[in-house]
């Protein structure tokens, strides 16, 4: 478990976007560009040209304020870099360093398709964007450059986003083919993956970026909090509901090493990593997942099953039935109120009124601080709801049956399976080519133990939730005959079986990336990686 001594992260050495999500920090736009390195020397020159512009994880100061120690001015556009295993190989990182990487990262995402459910139906690699499909004569993805941008006063992406994109393309052109931009993204421009928050009327009446995704849920409400993540030890307060729970309602931050390499993890060990230590320390891995959302099928299925639910449970309106069905699938109502706190429509309406009078900090605590100890049978929040699968909280505590909360342990299994969710939506409902979904960046220290375990065992398999092979009702890789069972808390009301689940969310590309520290970027760019 996490130690009591404060952790002082070397934020100037950690790339930005790991500690805090850009989308929640005022950067609603993005462009992700992929490159292939044909000549190592050209690739290192390209990287050295980019390195001074890479955004570190330093704390930002307010507009017009002078940065203090450990701070920096807020940039208009952030720039961060990550590599595939083949990319590090193409840049001639020594073999003795490369062999220290874990198998999952070496394999890459496409070769792990059976583990991830990407071998089922429309998830299959044959349906991925061309830029991500391996083989077929296409050059491999080596380098990912991520740009995240603010909006200008008119609500458009700042001009610097276009200027930095042009600069990147010119730099690659100057290598005379040594570094090549890879095209083949589906969307308006095949040269890059365009990202944007959804826009609409906000609570202040103005049109702006919303915290929602295409299915209508407020997104990224709960995210792990770990030691050293926030300035001034703020994580000790922010960890409530988002850290590790001991089973008795006490929360603590997770160990830093679950997300940042070179630091102790939940087992109080520093995991093995590529040598030298300065190469891997302060880096992290992430799974890049372009996830398509089938809005037409989603809308049809929700409407048809909501009508059945309304009849079966005698609900007052189709609106109530639709909202209830979606909440039972997600584990939260659309605005993020957890079902364990408001399991019914009337209780949700009352919770919405309370939320309206809360401060931002109070609202965040209300939406995130809960456990499943009072809902062991899944009568409020179904055991197979999305958020109950993705973060089991205390539900897998081996001593959950203890008569007193003080006798429970929490769940070390869950604490070692957490991931940091980053990314943004792409496309819109009116896209003529049906391009709409989310690009997910799932950060963790161990792709196999964290990301792949959650994806395979909890999202695409239901045994830990007494549901056999039933997958997550929202993001699961559904096969023919898939269903979602909703228990009823009323003994006179039967459970509702929502049958015929469709693959609402399907993979359209991605890979596994290593996002190195600022120190390691210099080592790679200057060819100074020495594993001895």
In this predicted model, which residue has the larger pLDDT, 86 or 238?
86
pLDDT of residue 187: 93
Contact 424, 28 (CB under 8 A): yes
Q: What percent of the chain shows pLDDT beyond 90?
A: 79
pLDDT at 213 over 80: yes
Give the residue numbers spanning the domain of 102. 11-61+75-217+258-289+509-525
469 contact partners, CB below 8 Å, separation of at least 6: 461, 462, 463
In a domain, 330, yes or no: no
pLDDT at 234 over 80: yes
In a domain, 413, yes or no: no
pLDDT of residue 68: 85
pLDDT at 3 over 60: no
CA separation for the pair 364, 356 (Å, rounded): 12
Question: What is the band of 405 on the pLDDT scale with cuts at 50, 70, 90?
Answer: low
How high is the mean pLDDT of the chain? 93
In a domain, 357, yes or no: no
- Please tell me the pTM assigned to this model: 0.96
Q: Which residue has the tokens 């069972």?
A: 485
In a domain, 514, yes or no: yes
pLDDT digits (tens, 9 = 90+) for 268-304: 999 889 999 999 999 999 999 999 999 999 999 999 9
pLDDT at 136 over 80: no
CA separation for the pair 90, 82 (Å, rounded): 14
> What's the residue count for the chain?
532
Q: Taking the CB of residue 165, how many other CB atoms lie within 10 A of it? A: 19
In a domain, 182, yes or no: yes
pLDDT at 186 over 70: yes
In a domain, 445, yes or no: no
In a domain, 52, yes or no: yes
What residues does 422 pair with on adjacent strands? Answer: 441
pLDDT digits (tens, 9 = 90+) for 475-519: 999 988 999 999 998 888 999 999 999 999 999 999 999 999 999
- Total domain count for the chain? 1
pLDDT of residue 465: 87
Mean pLDDT of 431-449: 95
Q: Closest by alpha carbon to 513, among 58, 105, 57, 25?
A: 105
Mean pLDDT of 36-49: 98
Question: Residues of 185-207 as b/e, b for ≥16 C-beta within 10 angstroms?
Answer: bbbeeebbbbbbbbeeeeeeeee
pLDDT of residue 53: 98
CA separation for the pair 450, 259 (Å, rounded): 10
Q: Quick one: tokens of 294?
A: 């089938």
Contact 513, 521 (CB under 8 A): no
In a domain, 328, yes or no: no
pLDDT of residue 404: 64
pLDDT digits (tens, 9 = 90+) for 247-259: 677 889 999 999 9
Q: Report DSSP letters for 458-486, one per residue.
A: IIS--GGGT-TTPPPTTTS-PPTT-EEEE
Cα-to-chain-centroid distance, residue 94? 31
Contact 58, 12 (CB under 8 A): yes
Question: What is the band of 399 on the pLDDT scale with cuts at 50, 70, 90?
Answer: confident
Cis peptide before 276 (omega within 30 of 0): yes
pLDDT at 525 over 70: yes
E-strand stretches of 170-283 = 179-181, 193-196, 199-201, 207-209, 244-245, 251-252
- Which of 140-144, 349-353, 463-467 comes out lowest in average pLDDT? 463-467
Question: What is the band of 407 on the pLDDT scale with cuts at 50, 70, 90?
Answer: low
pLDDT at 207 over 70: yes
pLDDT at 84 over 60: yes
pLDDT of residue 204: 77
pLDDT digits (tens, 9 = 90+) for 102-111: 999 999 999 9
Question: What is the band of 411 on the pLDDT scale with cuts at 50, 70, 90?
Answer: confident
């Amino acid at each position: 478990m996490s130690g009591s001594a404060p952790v002082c992260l070397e934020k100037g050495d950690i790339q930005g976007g790991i500690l805090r999500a850009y989308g929640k920090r005022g950067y609603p736009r993005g462009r992700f560009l992929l490159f292939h390195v044909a000549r190592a020397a050209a690739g290192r020159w390209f990287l050295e040209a980019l390195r001074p512009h890479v955004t570190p994880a330093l704390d930002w100061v307010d507009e017009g304020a002078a940065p203090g120690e450990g701070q920096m001015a807020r940039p208009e556009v952030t720039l961060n870099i990550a590599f595939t295993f083949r990319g590090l190989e193409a840049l001639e990182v020594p073999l003795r360093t490369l062999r220290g990487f874990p198998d999952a990262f070496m394999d890459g995402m496409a070769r792990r398709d059976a583990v991830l459910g990407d071998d089922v139906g429309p998830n299959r690699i044959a349906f991925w964007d061309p830029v991500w499909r391996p083989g077929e004569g296409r050059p491999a993805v080596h380098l990912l450059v991520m740009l995240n941008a603010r909006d200008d006063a008119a609500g458009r992406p700042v001009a610097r986003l276009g200027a930095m994109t042009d600069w990147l393309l010119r730099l690659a052109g100057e290598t005379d083919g040594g570094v090549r931009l890879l095209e083949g993204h589906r969307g308006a421009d095949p040269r890059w993956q365009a990202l944007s928050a959804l826009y609409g009327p906000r609570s202040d009446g103005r049109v702006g970026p919303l915290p929602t995704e295409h299915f209508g849920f407020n997104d990224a409400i709960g995210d792990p909090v770990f030691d050293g993540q926030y300035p001034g030890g703020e994580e000790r307060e922010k960890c409530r509901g988002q850290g590790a729970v001991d089973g008795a309602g006490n929360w603590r931050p997770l160990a830093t090493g679950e997300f940042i390499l070179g630091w102790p993890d939940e087992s109080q060990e520093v995991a093995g990593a590529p040598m030298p230590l300065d190469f891997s320390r302060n880096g992290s891995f992430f799974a890049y997942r372009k996830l398509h959302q089938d809005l037409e099928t989603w809308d049809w299925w929700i409407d048809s099953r909501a009508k059945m639910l309304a009849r079966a449970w005698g609900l007052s309106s189709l609106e109530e039935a639709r909202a209830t069905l979606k909440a039972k699938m997600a584990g939260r109502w659309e605005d993020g109120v957890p079902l364990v706190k408001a399991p019914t429509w009337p209780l949700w309406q009352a919770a919405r009124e309370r939320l309206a009078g809360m401060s931002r900090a109070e609202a965040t605590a209300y939406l995130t601080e809960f456990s499943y100890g009072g809902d062991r049978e899944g009568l409020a929040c179904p055991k197979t709801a999305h958020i109950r699968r993705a973060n089991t909280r205390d539900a897998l505590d081996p001593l959950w049956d203890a008569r007193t909360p003080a006798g429970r342990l929490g769940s070390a299994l869950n604490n070692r399976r957490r991931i940091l969710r980053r990314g943004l939506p792409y496309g819109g409902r009116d896209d003529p080519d049906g391009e709409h979904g989310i690009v997910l960046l799932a950060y963790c220290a161990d792709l196999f133990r964290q990301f792949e375990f959650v994806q395979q065992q909890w999202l695409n398999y239901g045994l830990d939730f007494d549901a056999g092979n039933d997958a997550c009702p929202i993001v699961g890789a559904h096969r023919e005959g898939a269903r979602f069972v909703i228990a009823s808390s009323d003994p006179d009301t039967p459970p509702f079986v929502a049958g015929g689940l469709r693959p609402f969310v399907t993979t359209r590309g991605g890979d596994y990336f290593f996002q190195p520290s600022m120190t390691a970027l210099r080592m790679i760019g200057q060819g100074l990686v020495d594993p001895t």
